[in-house]
Structure 1
């Protein structure tokens, strides 16, 4: 038994709070108060059914039936006392033992009242329904097997019901009994199914709310990653501008002024790229561009020494295929720079383009040490990097993964069998429905 918080929805009628219908589940478990209510109803129903059967002239063995009713009554009194003495506690695993005892009591009653010919044998299904709701799968299956074995025994061994004057029961009495048993069992199953549906709906709403919170958090992390990356990229030209401005105060010259103009233009270019990425993040349409153009502009941003190390077997038919421009150059720069830094200075890095009817795949391969097992399991998470501390912020692959997701594409990382790493960025191929970037 374990503690469980006692929750009741405000504003519910008193009868729902008192009966336990306001808390059919406590956490992930069936409410102890509801189980108590069901067992009180079972004792009352069994007693009334036996009394009514006797009124219709059925011979009732009150001795054994009284023992069964007394056991259920006494055990429920003990459970009620425990429930009052231990507020906030929950039966937990004790549900199995209670339901096992109830199954044994039902079997004992059925043995003395006609076995499976008794219409109330259908309450085996009621108890199985309760077990399926309240217990783990293994416990519910075990209880079901025990009930099945008990039913098999009752099929052969039981005391038949007879009229007080002797002789078998009349068909009318059997029909009344079947109707009563079906009505009560159906009402119970209906209540449980409605409760399950309400709980399923509540859990679905909670999952939807959690999904929205996670998506909001991912969007925040995406913005944080972009802001951090662009702030890092702007830091260099702004620092250069500050030094040049200080130099101009003391020794103004044309070369320093030209440097300031160049670095200011560099800042404007970075800000323009940030604006383009922001438009893509807001779901605005992105300008299409040809693959050949986007690759040439990407390579132009790399130093000549790094550009020479990149092998580019670009098929001629892929040069004019179109993809969305926004963010793609930044993503390719991330992948190429990572590959260049992972490989030795004299080793080449491959950039391949693969076309299909619907997608364009950019494949970057290096000849470095490859990804660690941990990185393969957690790649794309923010602030995870394979490089030493201070050499990278771990936002590059996160940006690539978010870009692919925002454009209904995909990103995949793996280690090459011959050594090194491979990253594949697949983006939807655009139709030639509008002008592409030059």
Structure 2
């Protein structure tokens, strides 16, 4: 882990934290951030890329990969503009931190360290997660692919998941005053890795995300990574952790959509204000409320569902065929899949605000054309549509489960989202109290 004297704090730094950055989409986000930051930001700005992994060995390897990518970019530029390589290298700084999202204490430790050593955060990209799948329903998979190839490999329903997976105990058996054991309820493993760990991370880092003067005309951004598989039918508000359900991954992603999209509504405002609570600075150091965005990478090749090498190649072939059949949701490579997250991190705040004012709050996805040229597209969300507006124009890339938005659907979506916020704030408070009672919780101040 970095020592304080090794922590980069360049003047006019742009600070981005990416979870799960050691491979797959997380690594793709890191490399794409480097590329787009150097291309779009003024020479006076420097990127501080904070990557989290579960151990130092993975962190060292990730930083090395990112450095090699930066050097490759610099060599390419140097050929056309001699002397520019040194300038570009000085504009990118790396910092690695350890984070285990299945340990709530690990989340607290990291956040306290960041709050003590980091002047601000511009974006937090919550990418890390697990699938929880154990196998495929092979007969159904073959049938779906043969009868509706494009939908089958875009919105699959043939993955088999484990039921009832629980995260490791959060409290040592000997914790508590006088060695008294503190009881803890079950915590869903997929729920914790995909959502709850990130939910706590966002809460504890809100003060850093808020450190933006109003004159900067920007906001700190909490970017949650969802999925095309955030199916409405997979989610049960009465089983918010997905412990009893057969689709815990899909349930966690639906929860991500519900909470992120409804975070701007008046009905959730008191809960969101509590979640994003931050100290109000004096007038000379004004702060600005962070904003939550939701994104997804489309369908790309990652290790979230490990496959044998032969099947991995066949899966890539299936993605390219789906793209050629007209699907816009198959970036295939992680660098293209990172398009939406990086765009949300780097886009001008005025542009984001104008788009949402015009079309409503929505879910942003990484898309490509037939040739693989990537772009960011709004994505339909069941019960919300593309922007929460009844009668909005239909777009490409609809889910086979989608139906035209009605006022009743939107009302139900808003109410479910509000209930999610109530439940998540309740869980957060209970777990913070439980960890504190056990003597293992980490105080932020």
- Normalised by the shorter chain, which TM-score bucket? under 0.3
TM-score, with length taken from structure 1: 0.22
Decide which structure has the larger Cα Rg and report it: 1
Between the two structures, name the one with larger relative contact order (CA 8 Å, sep ≥ 6): 2
